[in-house]
Chain A
Amino acid sequence: MAVKSIISRPVYGTLSPQPGSDHLLIADAEGAAAILDLAKSAPADFFAEAEIVFIPRDTGEKYIAALKALQPARFYEGPSIAAALPRLRQRLSTAHMGLRLYLTGTEGLIGQAMQAALEAGIDHKSIQTEQRGSLARRVQCVHCKGITEDVTTQPARCSHCGLMLLVRDHYSRRIAAFQGVCINAEDPSQVPPMEEMFK
């Protein structure tokens, strides 16, 4: 579990079945296990009209059969978060009141699906979230505004402008990213070592 540090840093919970019939569950990688855990306490007809959106990433085939065995009304397997987002935005923009949203897996997945939901006018407090698997961060470089995905080190190099960034805990739901700020601006000749921090 991620540790709560500062107030803008998201806090995640544990997925639990919500009342209603229209459930949209979105997961990447180890998030699949959170859906399987939720299923254990879900009513018998929970998945009858549910949709599962799953991006396996490095879990490959590990969870596919188990997720399909829940017999959701719709099952979508995507090759990447980016590839799944247009579909998700369309789904959310046409959603009815009463849609229940469950997001689980990496913070990058939760954040980007949340961002799409906020743009569709869904209140973030109504969304169930559970962090599972990698603690890798999505980081916006405050200087060039480029976003670097799956950051595991502190500091980290911006994949766009190349600056060495201190990855802060300060988080923007609107951008779905942590803030990265140049770590050696006071003395660019100092290059601190990169350590694995967000595994």
Chain B
Amino acid sequence: MGIVFRDETFRDDFTFKNSPEHIRRFPFPFHEDSYMYAVNIEPHVPGPKGSVLENLIDVDEHYVSEMRDRALVLAEDPLRCQSLPHMTLAGWDLLELLMTEQAKGYPEHFSLTRDGDKWHWINRPLGIDHHFVFGDLTTLPYGPMEYITRQSQGDFCILDQRDGNLWMDAGIVTTQADWSLDFDIGMNFFEWHAPVPLAHEKGIFTRALKFLTNIQQGKPARRLNWTMTINPRLDTSPENYHKWGADRATVTPENVGQKVHLRVELQSFWRLPRSNAMVFPIRCYLIKMDELVTSRKWARRLHRVIRDLPEELATYKGLTLYRPTLVEWLARYDDGAETSPGFGPD
């Protein structure tokens, strides 16, 4: 049985929503009733059937519409996809990884046939049937990174590893939580994380870098990160912040359920075989408050997390303006009962 792809938008009329099955599989990021930064990295191994971790590269009902939104962003602003000259080989590595994983996880939708360096790629949801020569740039309509990431959900950063550090030297970033690839490209791990509050002092990035630079091929890792977004807007870039920033002032007690979204990033980290670079897919999942509170446990827990979030974190995540309205709304779903351990919806 294949995925039924939704026809929906992440801008203008915002018709995005999750089916009941997708609400249940949402990667809720809080395992307890409070939140603080931690190096919450774990091996990226397949998870339960039906979860977003069933396949290591997840494809879901939003795939076709997300790819359409990406194409719109790139048409407006080509600087969202950049690759420094020494990163082309890593782009081919990424193309291989994504084609292989998508074909393995979803054979009814994708297929890859390899005959030496003559490859045949079929992407049925997007209507692509393409013969090309692996390693030959002239046989693709875009560079290898752009070609395959126009067909893969999530943002992708490719990190070069040298001098004991990771360098953001290529990427495609159209669904970002308020950071600019164009500004950060070429920076090292500490530099591009420089604006994050609190975590440097706690040594988070030093430990995370040590972990990441030791990741081996075939042993990817993952972590979850989260923020909140008003309207199901994928492109919450700083580039367009002057266009979407005012959305934050539109939250009222009446529209919280439809307007406010929890935005979860499933970040994974993979060593690439030929280039020895790392790829860092940042897969974004959105859920409306109305959808989230269909799980009583999630509703209770989210209420407590948002209510008790330290002020610096609330500011950094851009919640300041509407946090009181959101907390008041969520409080209606919190009867004070204990929540069970773990992430699941019960």
* A-to-B contact residues, CB < 8 Å: 6-9, 140, 142-143, 145, 163, 168-170, 172-175, 179, 181-182, 185-188
Q: How far is the CA of A163 from the CA of B187 in the complex (A)?
A: 26
- Nearest opposing residue in chain B for A170, CB measure: B195
By the criterion CB–CB under 8 Å, are B191 and A179 in contact? no
Residues of B within 8 A of A143 (CB): 238-242
Q: List the A residue with the shortest CB-CB distance to B248.
A: A186
In the bound assembly, the distance between CA atoms of A180 and B184 in angstroms comes to: 13
> Does A163 contact B242, Cβ atoms closer than 8 Å?
yes
Q: Which residues of chain B come closer than 8 Å to A7, judged between CB atoms?
A: 190-191, 193-194, 200
Whether B183 is near chain A, meaning CB under 8 Å from some CB there, is yes
For A170, list chain B residues within 8 Å (CB).
183, 194-195
Decide: A8 and B248 in contact? CB cutoff 8 A.
no
Cα A85 to Cα B162 in complex, Å, equals 29
Instruction: Decide yes or no whether B180 CB sits under 8 A from chain A.
Output: yes
Across chains A and B, the number of contacting residue pairs, with CB separation under 8 Å, is 68
A interface SS class: loop
Q: Which residues of A contact B238 (CB under 8 A)?
A: 142-143, 179, 181
Query: 16 other contacts beyond A168-B195, A169-B195, A172-B186, with CB at 8 A cut-off?
Result: A6-B195, A7-B194, A8-B192, A8-B195, A140-B183, A142-B239, A143-B238, A143-B242, A172-B184, A173-B187, A174-B185, A179-B180, A182-B245, A185-B241, A185-B242, A185-B244
B1 at interface by CB-CB < 8 Å: no
Scoring B185, B195, B240, B243 by chain A CB atoms within 10 A of each residue's CB, the highest score goes to: B195
Query: B183 and A185: CB pair below 8 A?
Result: no
Give me the 8 closest cross-chain CB pairs, A-B, nearest first.
Answer: A185-B245, A8-B194, A182-B242, A174-B186, A8-B191, A7-B194, A6-B194, A142-B238
The residues of B that contact A174 with a CB separation of less than 8 Å are 185-187
Contacts of A142 in B (CB 8 A): 180, 182-183, 238-239, 241
B246 within 8 A of A: yes
Shortest Cβ distance from A188 into B: residue: B246
Contact with A along B227-247 (1 / 0, CB 8 A): 000000000001111111110
Selected A-B contacts with CB under 8 Å, 25 pairs: A7-B191, A7-B200, A8-B187, A8-B191, A8-B194, A9-B194, A142-B239, A143-B241, A170-B194, A170-B195, A172-B187, A174-B185, A175-B183, A179-B180, A179-B183, A179-B238, A181-B241, A182-B241, A182-B245, A185-B241, A185-B243, A185-B245, A186-B245, A186-B248, A188-B246
**B241 contact set on A, CB distance < 8 A:** 142-143, 181-182, 185
A172→B188 CA distance, assembly (Å): 11
User: Which residues on A sit within 8 Å (CB–CB) of B243?
Assistant: 185
From residue 165 to 223 of chain B, which have CB atoms closer than 8 A to chain A?
A: 180, 182-187, 190-195, 200
Write out the residue numbers on chain A whose beta carbons fall within 8 Å of the beta carbon of B39: none
Asked if B128 is at the interface of the complex by the 8 Å CB criterion, the answer is no
For the complex, is B249 an interface residue (Cβ under 8 Å from A)?
yes
**A91 vs B280: C-alpha distance when bound (angstroms):** 38
Given A7-B190, A185-B245, A186-B246, do A145 and B182 touch, yes or no (CB 8 Å)?
A: yes
B184 CB contacts on chain A under 8 angstroms:
172
Interface centre among B186, B194, B239 (most CB of A within 10 A): B194
B321 to A186, Cβ gap below 8 A? yes
Q: How far is the CA of A142 from the CA of B242 in the complex (A)?
A: 10
Chain B residues lying within 8 Å of A172, measured Cβ to Cβ, are 183-184, 186-187
Q: How far is the CA of A181 from the CA of B242 in the complex (A)?
A: 8
* Shortest distance from the beta carbon of A144 to any chain B beta carbon, whole Å: 9
Is the CB of B79 closer than 8 A to any CB of chain A? yes
Residue of B195, B238, B242 with highest tally of chain A CB at under 10 A: B242
- B86 → chain A, closest Cβ, in Å? 12
- In the complex, A182→B244 CA distance in Å? 11
